[in-house]
Chain A
Amino acid sequence: MAGKESTLSHYLKSPTLLIIVFVVLGILVARILGMSTLDTLMTIMYFMGIALSLNIIMGFAGYVSFGHAVFLGLGGYAYVLLVYFIKPLADLQNVGLGLGAFVVAVLAGLFAAAVAASVGAAVLRLRGAFFAIATIGLDFTALYLMKAIVPELNPEQFFGAQIILPADKIVEKDIVFNAMFLTLVILLAVNYYIRKSPFGVGLTAIKEDEDAAEVLGVPTTMFKIIAFTLAGFFTGMVGALFSLNGGGVDETLFNLGHSIDMIVMIVIGGLGTVLGPVVGSLIYFELYDLLLVHYPGVNLIILGIIVAIVVLFFPEGLIGLLRKYKVMGMRLRDLLE
């Protein structure tokens, strides 16, 4: 019966893990051999990072957070303010080839997570469109709070909600790369672990039918809050390192466009799997670039149409679609997680 096969043979059979390792190594090799510019790699990791973060609440539990950029913004502001005002943290950034910056990003992520955890119980009581709208409200609230608070913190230096980090408080791009890379690896591991754990099974049950899940014993409220908090935490970390990479932060980090980026990547790739957001973000990145080069001006229109076609005709996304088929007697569903 199922469950008896050895764990090793199971993992060897799992292309998901192979693909994840391949992607991770690919980024590393491209970096070491200088095949792509640092900026390109940072952008890929950023896209993949936000898609994998949102995946935890949207892909697994089925809660589509339209205001998820709020955590990008909160993480970004938390990071920039931390290193701006706390000298030891600014210095810490340069310690350990990126480990230090990673630690500061964890602090920023914790701030985003704290916000997610404290509003989670309230907004996660809502379902469907109401949840989506509530998160948009959260995003706007945070945006206007930043606009109000940030100028007060340092009236001479901060204009509007924009903060530019002075030269002694930013770090080499290499360091940002390493910190982001580490974050991405952890995100992939967390997604994979969730997918394979009882927690992930519970989240999937919530996505399918929340009331039935609760009656079957799934602690739905707690699971949703944990998933939302994790999603907020990692989005915050990515937002933090993205801001560090850009040398500062402004209110555009709260733009709905970022939320939509995340959602679209997950939808293109396929909900509820680990590979979905990975593949989806790579496709999205390529498309984004390609369209921008070849069809400047109408690139976003074309992208929108492509997304509409995917949602209309392949709502399971690419990985979801592939999972329906068999190859050489093996069901891809067992292989593509």
Chain B
Amino acid sequence: MEDILVVENVTKRFGGLVANNKVSFSMKRGEILGLIGPNGAGKTTLFNVITGVYRPDEGRVIFKGEDITGKPPHVITRKGIAKTHQIVKPFNDMTVLENAMVGALFGKRARQITIGEAKEIAYQSLELVGLAEKAEEFAVKLTLRQKKMLELARALSAEPELLLLDEVLAGLNPKEIEEALEIIKKVKEERDLSIIMIEHVMHAVMNIADRIVVLHFGWKIAEGTPEEVANNPEVITAYLGDPRYALRFVKRKGGEGDGSS
């Protein structure tokens, strides 16, 4: 299978701070890649480099064989990459449906679909994430959980090939996490998606990801299957700092449904 995404040697600095340091990885079409690392590791920054929000100081991003480094976000979105925001950014004074319509109208098929078709696509995305009955509400009225799901619906409405999820599970209770994971698995199968998931909910990402990339202080410190990563001593110490917590983290990787901390 071809590589849908190749990140090559990406470095992104903010003043003296190196948020991404020579990060490289690639992923195959159809993969779910987990991106983990402690707070401030540079995960969101990497998403922003991939989607063109930030231009990397060094390195390249290759999507479907094309160098997209430094292209503006809207261009990259049209090429088929969609992202959810870690800090939700709903269009508050638009309805939930209109929010999702923006995704459809300016996504992969921008300029090819009518307002009516966009409504249709948007509504389907809302149904998928369980927000259909809120379609006519203003987005400002949603709960945080619903706003997270709206982020997902907006991204799905863009009909992407590569979906970047930035902590969509944060703030959900164990049952909701299970539901969200089911949704993600379902759309992945239905739409032949490739997904990168940033996630702090360990058991979830360990369960759903095919492979995992670990960032720490901007560096990629490990990459591999969930088992490999979970048993990597460097990850355990560096990622979690606290070896006792690390142990729980290793155990947790098998423990489905046990969402309590």
Contacts and interface: CB of A to CB of B under 8 A. Distances in A.
B83 A198 contact: no
B74 A218 contact: yes
B216 interface: no
Nearest to A196: B115
Given A2-B119, A201-B98, A217 B92 contact: no
A211 B53 CA distance: 9
A222 B51 CA distance: 18
A116 B118 CA distance: 32
Contacts of B90: 209
A14 interface: no
A211 B115 contact: no
Interface in A250-302: none
A201 B101 contact: yes
A202 B116 CA distance: 15
Interface string B98-131: 1001110111001100011111100100000000
B85 A212 contact: yes
A204 interface: yes
Interface in A202-250: 202, 204-205, 208-209, 211-221
A197 to B, nearest CB: 7
B125 to A, nearest CB: 13
Contacts of A214: 53, 72-74
Contacts, number: 89
Contacts of B106: 198, 202, 216-219
Interface string A19-55: 0000000000000000000000000000000000000
A2 B90 CA distance: 21
Interface residues of B, number: 36
A215 B51 contact: yes
Determine the interface band of chain A, counting residues with CB < 8 A from chain B. Answer: 20 to 34
Interface string B77-95: 1100011010001111110
Given A198-B115, A217-B106, A218-B74, A209 B120 contact: no
Contacts of B148: none
B158 interface: yes
A302 B102 CA distance: 42
Nearest to B100: A216
B105 A201 contact: yes
B238 to A, nearest CB: 31
B154 interface: yes
B184 to A, nearest CB: 19
Contacts of A3: 115-117, 119-120
B97 interface: yes
A305 interface: no
B120 A1 contact: yes
Contacts of A218: 74, 102, 106
Contacts of B123: 1-2
Contacts of A331: 136
Given A201-B98, A209-B89, A217 B110 contact: yes
Contact of A201 (B107, B111, B115): B115
A217 B101 contact: no
Given A1-B120, A3-B120, A214-B73, A197 B89 contact: no
A204 B106 CA distance: 13
Most interface-central of B51, B101, B105, B158 (chain A CB within 10 A): B105
A204 B94 contact: yes
Contacts of A201: 98, 101-102, 105, 115, 118
Contacts of A215: 51, 53, 73-74, 77, 83, 85
A197 B136 CA distance: 19
A250 to B, nearest CB: 41
A34 B3 CA distance: 74
A91 B93 CA distance: 50
22 contacts: A1-B119, A2-B123, A3-B117, A196-B115, A197-B115, A198-B118, A201-B101, A201-B115, A204-B94, A204-B98, A208-B92, A209-B91, A211-B89, A214-B72, A215-B53, A215-B83, A216-B77, A217-B77, A217-B103, A217-B105, A218-B102, A331-B136
Given A209-B89, A219-B74, 6 more contacts: A4-B116, A201-B98, A216-B74, A218-B74, A219-B106, A221-B72
Interface of A: 1-4, 196-198, 201-202, 204-205, 208-209, 211-221, 331
Give 9 nearest A-B pairs by CB, closest first.
Answer: A217-B106, A3-B116, A208-B91, A217-B77, A212-B89, A3-B119, A198-B105, A2-B119, A214-B73
